[in-house]
Copies of this chain bind each other. A is one copy, B any other.
């Protein structure tokens, strides 16, 4: 434990990346925006969107320094993964302001850093260095989807992305359905927006009619919505005449199933 150690702050972002920006005060607490505005050293997934976020936060609480004077560094790539291959000296360089007793902010592209997003490697390095780690409250697409699904919320797993290849994806879906039924554990996964419709078709042809399936898209956005039904009900919905083929087109979606 470093006695002079500072703090690594995990700062949540909004969920409107790539969409029309929402009012930041709709999704983030005033105290979180105030804290973000005071941080002058950042490690982020993407510097450009971090600056856009800080500009929005600064409109609510003045930034401690002008935007262009903030020290904003990007996380080492590859962005996904736990960062086990990044040498500790690289983490130390990123954490230097905290190692010297100050604050460093960690931010990802959407929601909480290090959850379904990069950043865990930096957090682990901060713990190894004896720094204080503080996570600030913010929106999580995964948990909003789970809450709104009405499925089992006392026992659930988030398993990330499914395989893209059709046979492998179907096999994985059957595995998740069986696991879900056996453990009564809701299985939560995500897909990139342009594959949402293909994922829906795979779900409807692979899962049992009685399995419950919830899809949430565009969370916290005006166009956001949740639909939760049995697979049988989803099949009727998907076959209905005039159904908008992809209500979630271009919107990030979260899928929850309970066998």
Contacts and interface: CB of A to CB of B under 8 A. Distances in A.
A75 B191 CA distance: 34
Interface in A108-128: 112-117, 119-127
A127 B114 contact: no
Contacts of A135: 144-145, 147-148, 216, 219, 226
Interface string A9-34: 01000010000000101111111100
A interface, over-half SS: mixed
B147 A115 contact: yes
B120 A152 contact: yes
Interface string A239-256: 000000000000000000
Interface size class of A (residues with CB under 8 A): 35 or more
B27 A144 contact: no
Contacts of A125: 150
24 contacts: A25-B30, A26-B32, A27-B31, A27-B137, A28-B137, A81-B154, A114-B146, A114-B147, A117-B153, A120-B149, A123-B147, A123-B148, A123-B150, A123-B228, A126-B150, A127-B150, A127-B214, A127-B226, A127-B227, A134-B148, A135-B144, A135-B145, A156-B157, A157-B157
Number of chain copies forming the complex: 2
Given A82-B152, A229-B127, A147 B29 contact: no
A115 B146 contact: yes
A176 to B, nearest CB: 12
